[in-house]
Structure 1
């Protein structure tokens, strides 16, 4: 599949190609928020992440020793993490999961989002962002968990780490062709805006999440 916006070409799993064709059919939905939500739901169900609980993901991350957000994973580590996730899903839900297909599909999607150049590397934070964004959990619980990945002792973060978090988040709508609806890929204006809103404090905390945008749409 060729991604014209990024001017790159990558090879997708045949099932992933079918998924992207199905996503393209949603482009006739007028409102960007609904269109993006529908696309995310299609991806979520195709990857079986609509069955994966956040608590299960947290257990997998811990077992795989994926604690350092800026640590870089190679494809083998990603495959090990995904295999553990789907094996846990099969065991916990007592359902039959085509684990090889699910791993291939989820790996394909994560690489398309976070490694379109196919260097075979992605940050632990990227891996977590992709999976947590599409797992089963209240959106506030997802926000809290992801914020903790870039916060230090005391639950505080700084502009660099918040910028990194928002950069990872915006890659998902970017890959779906919906980044323009969220203000583009430049997250720096949102980061500056967030810190201006809490300028009485030197750092940003989760309490400020509801008072500023998570995307570069401001």
Structure 2
């Protein structure tokens, strides 16, 4: 599939990587337990390759016990080691910082998105459970290395973390420190620099979803994966292939609002969307151009191919 929007393209690349490394099987709590077991508590410490291998062996042996048919320990350790070195050892020193390794593995591990945000925050927060601007920048810098290795960093602000940090502290309304719940609330607004992480979770959730609806563009039915439903026209649906490629029909405009579903809709959601369509039927194309509905928090000038305007559920 040609994926026009970089946020989705990066998430789909990350999903393939996650599954290839079997990190989609790794619970956050298990990862944390292994780090504690190996006494990896000093995040500034540099780990040499033998130490990284020891830690990864413990992780994948744990996974093999639960998923013996899916996890080949030597292969997974080799793949994950090489990935960590490519992402976090640009100088080819043969060393990776503990913090970088934790953020890399936590980012691609399994678990609720809210829990993942809390784990990531805890790795840079001080003993009091609060985070200053420098610590947040450190977290975001390590996170952006994943799309950077996938050739997608430019769409997420590159190596400049200052706009993201400023966005977070402006949202909180202070400039000294933030608490974990404030960070989680900001992340749920999908800041552009880390939106790939939340989209990754939706991509994973949508993989097996089947929707009893017909795509108004390519006529596919039922829809497998994501379903995009118009909030401007009644019973207008778009499949994920058409959505990702940016295809539209002659009577539909890109500025019109859509709602994204990564699981089949409930009757309550159907009624809610019907009500919204009723309201939007009397609004012009000019109105939607002037009042775009974005499912993420932009922090700097973005390309129109970064993320399609929609409403997230």
Report the TM-score, using the length of structure 2 for normalisation. 0.58
- Pick one of 38, 50, 55 that aligns with 1:81: 55
After the TM superposition, which residues 85-164 of structure 1 pair with which residues of structure 2 at under 5 Å, given as runs?
Answer: 85-95=59-69, 97-164=71-138
How far has the Cα of 1:94 moved from its partner?
A: 4.3
CA contact under 8 A between 2:64 and 2:72: conserved in structure 1? no
Query: Once superposed, what is the RMSD of the aligned Cα atoms?
Result: 1.8
Partner of 1:215: 193
**Match status 1:196 vs 2:170:** yes
Q: Which has the higher strand share?
A: 2
Partner of 2:27: 53
CA contact under 8 A between 2:144 and 2:153: conserved in structure 1? yes
Q: Which runs of 5+ in 1 are unaligned?
A: 1-25
Q: 2: CA distance between counterparts of 1:214 and 1:81?
A: 32
The 4+ residue runs of structure 1 with deviation greater than 6 A are none
User: Which one has the largest radius of gyration?
Assistant: 2
After the TM superposition, which residues 4-23 of structure 1 pair with which residues of structure 2 at under 5 Å, given as runs?
Answer: none
Q: Which runs of 5+ in 2 are unaligned?
A: 195-297, 300-313
Q: Which shows bigger deviation, 192-201 or 33-42?
A: 192-201
Q: Which shows bigger deviation, 155-164 or 193-202?
A: 193-202
Q: 2: CA distance between counterparts of 1:89 and 1:120?
A: 26
Q: 2: CA distance between counterparts of 1:34 and 1:137?
A: 20
Partner of 1:64: 38
How far has the Cα of 1:117 moved from its partner?
A: 2.5
CA contact under 8 A between 2:124 and 2:135: conserved in structure 1? yes
Partner of 1:16: none
Q: Which shows bigger deviation, 135-144 or 207-216?
A: 207-216
Report the TM-score, using the length of structure 1 for normalisation. 0.81
How far has the Cα of 1:191 moved from its partner?
A: 1.1
Q: 2: CA distance between counterparts of 1:117 and 1:200?
A: 36
How far has the Cα of 1:214 moved from its partner?
A: 7.0
Partner of 1:22: none
Q: 1: CA distance between counterparts of 2:112 and 2:148?
A: 23
CA contact under 8 A between 1:50 and 1:134: conserved in structure 2? yes
